[in-house]
Every structure is written in C-alpha cells, then in structure tokens.
A and B are shown apart, each in its own frame.
Chain A
Amino acid sequence: MLSLDQLQQTDKKATRDGFGAGLKAAGDQHDNVVMLTADLRGSMKSEDFINTYPDRFIQCGIAEANMMGVSAGLATAGKIPMATTFANFATGRVYDQIRQSIAYSHKNVKICASHAGITLGEDGATHQILEDIGMMRMLPGMTVINPCDYNQTKAAVQAIAEHHGPVYLRFGRPGWPVFIPEDQEFVIGKALHLNQGSDVSIFATGHLVWKAVEAARELEKEGISVDLINIHTIKPLDEEAVIASAKKTGAVVTCEEHNKYGGLGSAIAEVLSKAVPTPQEYVATNDTFGESGKVSDLLEKYGLGTKDVIAAAKRALARK
C-alpha cells in the first residue's frame, strides 16, 4: 500500500523516455512486437528498440492514416503493432481509420501517442491536443491509458503488449518527476491508490498526478485528509475504486491535462451520477485551445498547477 511519504521524486525523465524503455522491454519479451512511426522515431525515444530490432521497425513517412491501416493489417497477420506519433496526429487526424480499421475490426493495435496535452509547450495549440482522451474513450472496445511518470509508462507499455485488443496509450514530451516505485505492478483497469484519506478524494491521471501529490502534501499539512487515487486506465475505468472512495469522502476532485469535457472528469462524473452523486470539482482545461509557452507558464495559465488542485479540493470540501 503506497502513501505520500513513499512518493518522492527520484529523478526527472520524460514519459516518452519511459515509452522507449518499455518498447524495448516489450520487444525483448515478444517477437511479434513491431514499431511503426510517421517520421518521428527520434521524438518517440525508441532508438534502443530500432537498433536492436531494425527488421521490426517500419517507417511510414508523414502519412498517419496509412500507418493506422498498415497497423491493422499487421495485427490481422498476428503482429503486435505499436503505431507511434504525436497524440494529435494519432487521434483527431485519423479518427475514422482508428474507428473502422482498428476499433470496429477488433485489431490488436497499440496506438502510442507522445506529446499529449498542453505540456508539449512551445509548439503551441496545433500540436497540443486536449480532446484525445474523449475521442478515444468514445470508441467501443478501446482501452485508454494515460500513465503518470517514466516508470509507470515503461510498465504500461509492457502491459499493453500482453493485453489483446486495441489500446490508446497517451504520454508526453517534457522531463517530469519520476516518483512511482520502479517495481510497482501495472494492472490495466486497476486504479492505483497513492494515499489513504477520508476528507476528499483526488482522482488524477497523467502528468497531473504529480501535481496532485504535491497538493495532497499541502492539504495534509492543513489537516485535510486526502484519498489520492491514480487513474492510469481511464477506460475501462475502475468504477469500484471510484465509488468506494467517493462514498468514503463525499467530495471529489479530478485532475487531468485535458479538456474538462470528455476526459477523466467526465468518466468519473458518469460513474458518480449513477452510483453515488457527489460534489465534484475539475482540474482540467476550460474548453479552450492551448498556446505556445514554457511548460510551467502554461500549467499556471491554464489552471493545471498544484495550487489549482488545492483550490479545487477546498471547493469540493465546501460543497459537502
């Protein structure tokens, strides 16, 4: 059982580096794992896999729609394709290809998307997708995973290679605190309890889990007991964990680097409204596109910082 004391920053590495490490490990474990990319092998931090298994690397050029179809064909023949590009080009650009050739066709394709969310930084809103979780969550049969640090991303890649079925794996560009224990087991669809508490539940996914950890430390100092839960798998959602925590605390905060519509907050609200109606506050972007800027400036401007999580927790508590 984890607790805040154990969640200390041990390093600073990008989740996309965790993807590269996990891909190499998955490649070692499964001969049929192949990697595709649309002219972004460098950004995907996958040189280790590519150099070790050059015959299992497929360059698609800047043609994401074709890459999704080729992946579906490879999966039909029994391969485990990891189709990689930036999250914007891995979802919105190719939604119909994913819908028909992968999701509806039940293909064992892993869509591995880097540079998700606003922490892409200086490239700006054309590349900062904040709608991808919603889009992917809408597809029947699609598993949606948004790991929170290097270690969790590495473990998630190995887990999705073992899992049969289409998966959307979302991770990011910037260096980010590493704080999940390296040996922490990753189970698809199983929430990870980071701290036991009784006053307020904080459900967080992706990069914002670290912000939630920082917020929880501050809240605990103020005498507010936080039930902190990492929802790395947004679909299928661990409804049991959500309901149990909400029943215990009676106040909920959701944290994600995504639009407030369609993402983790929406997924949690759908469960709560059916099972245990609970006051809920959202830490998410407010139905807006992003912009260029430093990661720290963007997180502050768009309301995704530690202080925003703290404020949301207090608002939720006040509504009890």
Chain B
Amino acid sequence: MADIQELQRIASQVRRDIIRQVFLCQSGHPGGSLGNADLFVALYFDIMKHDPSFNMEGKGEDVFFLSNGHISPVWYSTLARAGYFPVEELNTFRAIDSRLQGHPTTHEGLPGVRIASGSLGQGMSVACGMALAKKMDGDDRTVFVLTGDGEQQEGQNWEAALFAPHHKLDNLVVIIDDNGQQIDGPTSEVMYMGDLGKKYASFGWEIVDMDGNNMAEVVETLRKVQGQRNGKPTCIIMKTAMGKGVDYMEGTHKWHGKAPDEELALKALAQLEETLGDFPAEGI
C-alpha cells in the first residue's frame, strides 16, 4: 500500500521543480503541469512497473505517453526524481543543447520519452499502437496516456476512440485532464464539447471519474483500472485544477503558457514545501 503522505511530499517537490524550470527559462506551461503533478507522482512512484534505466520498447513494463506535450515540466521533474536522468539536468529546460526540449522528444535521447508530442491529438493513437503490440506479444502490462481536455477538440482522438474498443484494447488507459481550461479560455467557451464521459461510453469505453488532485483517490483509481481486463479500454475523466498548489495560478487559463517573474515565482515557492532538495540553479 502506498504511503499517500510520502507521495504528496514528492508531488510538492515536483511542483517546486515546475515553477523553477519555467522561471529559469521564462517560458513553458506551468498551469497544466501543476494540475497534473499528483497523477505523475502516483504513476511513477506507485502504480507503474517501470525501469529508469529505460528501454524504448518497454517490454514487460507499464508504459506512459504524454499527448499534451506542453506540460513537459511536470514530466521532466517526475522522470528526474524517479531516476531516469540527473535532477541537475532540470536547469537546462528549454535551453540550447538541452535534452529537455520545450515539448518532449526522442530526438535528443532523453530517457523516459518514447515519442515526440506537442502537436496535439496524436498520443492516443500512439498508445493504441503500443497497447496493440503488447496484446500481440502476450505482454499483460498496461499502457497509460494523458491528454488535455481542450486537446480532445482534435479529430484524431476520435479516430483513436473508435479504434481502441474495436480492437478490444483493455490494457489501455486514457486519462483526460478535465481542468476546463485551454489557452484561449474556458473549454466551454472556446469549443463546447458536451459530456466527454458519455461520448466515450457510447464509443464502447469503460468510464471512470477521478479527482486528480486527491492523491489517495488517484492511487486507488489507477490501481483499480490498471489490472482491469474486460475487453474495453478505460477512459478516466480526471478533474484537476489548473495551477494546483499555487493560489494565484489555480483555476484560471491565464497561467497556461506563461512564466512567473521573480516576485511571483518566490510567492509560488513559498506555498510549496521543499521536500527532496531543489535542483541547483543560479538566482532562485
């Protein structure tokens, strides 16, 4: 059984890492990153069977894909804290010659990343391919993929939404980050999408609701769906607050893709306990 308090402590450090990464390069996407910190920590520190020495094919491992690649800071921090690469490397985020590109890629060989993402709507398809390969190979591990809710406006997702139940990919878990925000404003105003859960259910998916900012619930839910093999892929509608953990960033799209200045960065860090030691960086 996971120690929820320990996971929360790691998540606090991941949130600090997010703020410090985007502050140092004065760019990046803190809002969605903060909102998803609990999910990433639960996946990498409790739920998934995975190997930080990293094998691209991921045979015998649970595999995670990030479709909404712009929330790379939360993934980079989680991967570093889980041992995929040195924590010190987080200070190279978005800098020249870095493996930590603005959006995740395989191009620079960063351990933990299996596909480039950033141009939205492609991750579910890739995850379907990995889940299908695992079925073909008799590998019973699970494939997780995270997408944004605004990202669901891309049509390719709906091609994948048809594909997965048709091919009975019950080893696939899609997590939709339902924070209700996208870069131009609330999703309901930018492009109303109706009830995503009902839509996926009608396509033949198992639907699960989850509070993505309640660590105990995240762990319990993921554990339940992980071993579920009933012929249907799972779609988790995960409620999160964009900017979770930093009061002035919470629940607004304004910090979707904007870095805080020094004063605001320090204000954010004051709200997030340093639990594992900050990565070294000049100036903050």
Q: Could you say which residues of chain B place their CB within 8 Å of the CB of A78?
A: 57, 59, 133
Stretch at the interface among A100-108, A126-134, A174-182, A286-294: A100-108
- Does A72 reach chain B (CB closer than 8 Å)? yes
Contact pick for B129, options A61, A65, A71, A96, CB 8 Å: A71
Contact A77 B129 (CB under 8 A): yes
Contact A70 B128 (CB under 8 A): yes
Contact pick for A77, options B59, B160, B167, CB 8 Å: B59
Contact B134 A65 (CB under 8 A): no
Contact A105 B105 (CB under 8 A): yes
Which chain B residues (77-112) contact chain A, with CB distance < 8 Å? 105-107
Q: Cα distance A15–B160 when bound, in Å?
A: 31
Contact pick for B107, options A58, A63, A101, A104, CB 8 Å: A104
- Does A125 reach chain B (CB closer than 8 Å)? no
- Does A14 reach chain B (CB closer than 8 Å)? no
Q: Cα distance A144–B44 when bound, in Å?
A: 39
Contact pick for B106, options A55, A67, A71, A106, CB 8 Å: A106
Contact pick for A74, options B107, B124, B132, B156, CB 8 Å: B132
Q: Could you say which residues of chain B place their CB within 8 Å of the CB of A271?
A: none
Max chain A C-beta neighbours (<10 A), residue from B106, B124, B133, B160: B133
Contact A70 B115 (CB under 8 A): no
Q: Could you say which residues of chain A place their CB within 8 Å of the CB of B106?
A: 104-106
- Does B182 reach chain A (CB closer than 8 Å)? no
Contact A65 B119 (CB under 8 A): no
Q: Cα distance A97–B123 when bound, in Å?
A: 10
Interface string of B118-153 (1 = CB under 8 A from A): 110011111111111110110000000000000000
Interface string of A63-92 (1 = CB under 8 A from B): 101111111111111110100000000000
Question: Assuming the A-B contacts A76-B56, A101-B126, are A70 and B116 also in contact, with contact meaning beta carbons closer than 8 angstroms in the complex?
Answer: no
Max chain A C-beta neighbours (<10 A), residue from B123, B124, B126, B160: B126
Which single residue of chain B is at the shortest CB-CB distance from A107? Answer: B115
Contact B129 A72 (CB under 8 A): yes
Q: Cα distance A97–B160 when bound, in Å?
A: 13
- Does B58 reach chain A (CB closer than 8 Å)? yes
- Does B159 reach chain A (CB closer than 8 Å)? yes
- Does A219 reach chain B (CB closer than 8 Å)? no
Contact B58 A69 (CB under 8 A): no
Q: Could you say which residues of chain B place their CB within 8 Å of the CB of A97?
A: 122, 125, 156
Question: B interface vs A, CB < 8 Å?
Answer: 56-59, 105-107, 114-119, 122-134, 136-137, 155-156, 159-160, 162-163, 166-167
Question: A interface vs B, CB < 8 Å?
Answer: 34, 55-56, 58, 60-61, 63, 65-79, 81, 96-97, 99-101, 104-107
29 sample A-B contacts, Cβ–Cβ < 8 Å, listed by A number: A34-B136, A55-B136, A63-B162, A65-B156, A68-B125, A69-B129, A69-B160, A70-B128, A70-B132, A72-B115, A72-B126, A73-B125, A73-B128, A73-B131, A76-B130, A76-B133, A77-B57, A77-B133, A78-B57, A78-B59, A79-B133, A81-B129, A96-B119, A97-B122, A97-B125, A100-B117, A104-B107, A105-B105, A106-B107
Interface contacts beyond A97-B156, A100-B122: sample of 20 additional A-B pairs, CB < 8 Å, sorted by A: A61-B162, A61-B166, A65-B156, A66-B125, A69-B156, A70-B132, A72-B129, A73-B126, A73-B129, A73-B133, A75-B129, A76-B56, A77-B58, A77-B129, A77-B137, A97-B125, A100-B119, A101-B115, A101-B126, A105-B107
